[in-house]
Amino acid sequence: MEKIEILRIESLSRDPLVVEGYLFKGTNPNAPKIAIVGAMEGESILPLYCASTLVDFFKNKLEKEKLKGDVLIIPSINHYALNISKRFWPLDNTDINMMFPGYELGETTQRIAKKVFDALNGYDYGVILERRPDPATCLPYIKLYKSGYEDLLAAKKFGFKLIHHRTMKSIDTVTLQYNWQLWGTKAFSIMCPSDNQVDKKVASQINQAIIRFMDKSKILNYHIFNGYESTVMDRNTISVVKSAKSGIFISKELPGNYVSKDQVIGEIVHSLEGNVIHQFLAPCNGMVTCFYSNSLIFEHAVAFRIAKIG
């Protein structure tokens, strides 16, 4: 294993920010190469945990001859934000994942993005462990933009239950996934719940999926159990359930649970008087893919997303 310094930025008052990558060289130079990016934001605890436990896997648990292609893992980019529980770059609150492909003469986070992007360039496959942008607990799934460069077949090798094949917005053109694809890497985002606690079961599902993908793509020779035959979803196959009231939100179902039309899936309690003021009924038969993870909910907020079945 080689530890690579990807970038170093000095600070007026803090220790320098030093971003490192862990490079594991494979035994076959012709095998595909993969890079994995962990926490790009602060508060991305699960991406950080997943990426760091993958480092442990390659460093300490995998027999060296089983690794065929090169693997680069960058567990964290924004240590400054993680260390003080901020989400974005602490000084100016900019999102590094809106700065790609980066610019070496630009603003600080553009420079960070540029150095990270240079280190990631040239890999055959790329995995980005992303935190959901909204406060939501979800099943882990693949987010893949309809960019024209995406590889939907390859995305299925992870074996997640769901692939969200998403229409692009203009703002997505500055993300790592899009730019990585534009530069020839087959990139995938694994969406993680936005909780600040490590759920080891979910982390294990994510890491198994990444290892499964690497095995199926001949980067690794390490057979693990098969995953799901992924269902590809888009906006039309997801039902959005919004909150009719504001108050204290209690979900009665978990992501991954199957629900029937008109089943009570959650409730809102009056925050000052304690009575139930709203019950959420499932609008269709389906599977809960995510729910609002904050216990205080705004009126009109998206409370559940349900993948329709039947």
Partner 1 sequence: MKTSEIFTSNLPVGEKLSVKRTRFEPKSVDNKKMKRISIVSGIHGDELEGQLVIYLLADWLNKNNDKLKGIVDIYPAVNSLGVDTITRGFPLYEVDLNRTFPGSANEFLPGQVVYALANDVKGSDIAIDIHSSNIFLREIPQIRINKEYSKSTLALAKELNCDFIWIHDAVTVLEATFSHTMNSMGTKTLVVEMGVGMRLTKEYGNQLLIGILNLMKKEGIIECEEEFTVRTPFSSEIGDVFYLNAPKSGLFVPALDHCAIIKEGDKIGDIVDPLTGTIYSTLKAPNDGILFTLREYPVVYEGSLIARIFGEKSGKN
List residues near partner 1 by CB under 8 A. Answer: 9-12, 87-88, 91-93, 98, 105-111, 133-135, 169-171, 173-174, 240, 242, 245-248, 271-272, 294, 296-302
Shortest CB 88 distance to partner 1, Å: 7
Nearer to partner 1, 52 or 83 (CB): 83
Shortest CB 254 distance to partner 1, Å: 21
Q: Which two tokens stand for residue 71?
A: 């693997």
Cis peptide before 135 (omega within 30 of 0): no
* Number of neighbours of residue 236 by Cβ within 10 angstroms: 7
Shortest CB 66 distance to partner 1, Å: 41
Nearer to partner 1, 9 or 198 (CB): 9
Nearer to partner 1, 170 or 197 (CB): 170
Shortest CB 12 distance to partner 1, Å: 5
Answer whether 203's CB lies under 8 Å from 53's CB. Answer: yes
Nearer to partner 1, 68 or 278 (CB): 278
Q: Is 204 in a helix, a strand, or coil?
A: helix
Shortest CB 245 distance to partner 1, Å: 7
Query: In three state form, how does the secondary structure of 118-152 look?
Result: HHHCCCCEEEEEEECCCCEEECCEEEEECCCCCCH
Nearer to partner 1, 53 or 271 (CB): 271
Nearer to partner 1, 32 or 135 (CB): 135
Measured distance between the N- and C-terminal CA atoms of the chain, rounded to whole angstroms: 49
Shortest CB 60 distance to partner 1, Å: 35
Closest by Cα among 142, 296, 104, 133 to 233: 142
Q: Is 179 in a helix, a strand, or coil?
A: helix
- Residue 60: CB partners within 8 Å, gap ≥ 6? none
